[in-house]
Amino acid sequence: MSGMTMIIPFLPLFLQQDLGVTDESAIGAWGGAIFAANFVTSFLFQPIWGRVADRIGRKVMLLRSGFGMGLITILMGFATEPWHLLVLRLLNGVISGYNPAAIALMSATAPKARMGFAMGTLQSGITAGTILGPLIGGLFADAFGFRPIFYITGGLLFLASILSWILIKENFDREKAAAQPATSMAEDVRKLLRDKRLAALLGTTFAFQFALLCPVAFIPLYIQRLHESMANIAFWSGFVGSVTAFSNMIFAPLLGRLSDRTGPAPVLFITLIGAALMFVPQAFAGSVGELLFYRFLLGSFLGGIAPALNTLIRSYTPDGMVSRVFGYNTSALALGNMCGPIVGGAVFGLVDINGLFLVSAGVLLAAAIWIRAVVPGAELRRKERRRNPGG
């Protein structure tokens, strides 16, 4: 994950300094399109790869994604025009899927009694990558320039794929998978929507990502307003982002372990409510220090959401559809990644950054109410005890 996040923060600078895009509006347009391109194709293709994984195995999909993204990332380093990067980012979205494949593989192999802790640990590793990636990328960019970052990132993806190939074992019964009745994507979607619990969980994945990204582009402006100076704005902006990820990384395995004891549904409900409440005081912060404090608390609640969601999704998904459902979940996440910044930018002029924090709080609160209505915690806990009478 660290490798994947090393390059994204520096795309505008790469466009300006290496690809010769000097007009600020053009940099913004190309940067936005290149950033979003990956999510557009990922949204479309993740369910397809999920269907393939349910037929031939998750480890194969892990290797396909890892080696494929490694090659495409290296090719980005040879780009000489902005449209080259755009096409390669579109292809990257088509071939991507390392994280959902890892989640599906983890959900299929981890003991059910420790599923929450396993998902929390995986989430912690993903979050650690989002913290270290920009930091390492910045150091490499200063030392070697921008193009070597793409080669290093591609190399890291190849290394991760080789390690996955050697170290990860999967007992996947292809004959049993082939014997499962074939269904179309339309039939799969109808089946998901008929299950109110899975529909709510996928909707919550979208809401979670939407709420997280809705105000994020305008946080540097908010910090500038609170700091009352342009001095060290970049540092404080990065620090505010990092502190949320840092607390997320710490609390994800702890809340995952808690969900193994109490059930993931109560943990999901409480963390959604907690995250919603932590967005509210950010709208009224009086200093950068206050904002940092609330963002740290926000991250501690965010750390419990994704592991609980993934555990619940696995609990309600038939064995033959695990990768497909996680593929649709990744599509919901990609849609949130796209819609959050778009809606945030569209309404920023009406409600300012303060209002965007409140919008995020409202979205998470609505998701919590939805989850509470269709995924009763006591019901799920009884279901898990019947599956694991000794757990």
Q: Are 330 and 46 in contact (CB under 8 A)?
A: yes
Nearest by Cα to 259 from 128, 120, 145, 390 = 120
| Residue 138 to residues 17, 27, 108, Cα–Cα distance (Å) | 15, 19, 37
**CB-based contacts of 346, cutoff 8 Å, min separation 6:** none
Measured CA to CA, the distance from residue 325 to residue 100 in angstroms comes to 10
Nearest by Cα to 261 from 311, 189, 332 = 311
What letters, b where the CB count within 10 A reaches 16 and e where it falls short, cover 242-255? bbbbbbbbbbbbeb
Measured CA to CA, the distance from residue 56 to residue 170 in angstroms comes to 11
pLDDT in tens, the chain (391 residues): 544 556 666 777 788 888 888 887 787 778 778 877 888 898 888 888 888 887 788 888 889 999 999 999 999 999 999 999 999 999 998 998 777 777 777 776 667 667 777 777 776 776 666 666 666 776 777 778 888 888 988 998 899 899 989 988 877 767 776 667 667 777 778 888 888 999 999 999 999 999 998 888 788 778 888 876 656 666 676 677 778 888 988 898 889 889 888 889 999 999 999 999 999 999 999 898 899 999 999 999 999 998 899 889 988 887 778 888 888 888 898 899 888 888 888 888 888 889 999 999 999 999 999 999 988 754 445 454 445 444 4
pLDDT of residue 280: 96
Q: The tokens of 189 are what?
A: 């979607």
- Model confidence, pTM: 0.78
3-state secondary structure 43-89: HHHHHHHHHHHHHHCHHHHHHHHHHHHHHHHHHHCCCCCHHHHHHHH
Type and span of the H or E element at 347: helix 322-374
Measured CA to CA, the distance from residue 308 to residue 305 in angstroms comes to 5
pLDDT of residue 43: 86
Annotated domain spans of the chain? 2-166+191-386
pLDDT of residue 199: 92
Domain 2-166+191-386 has CATH 3.10.20.30: no
pLDDT of residue 190: 83
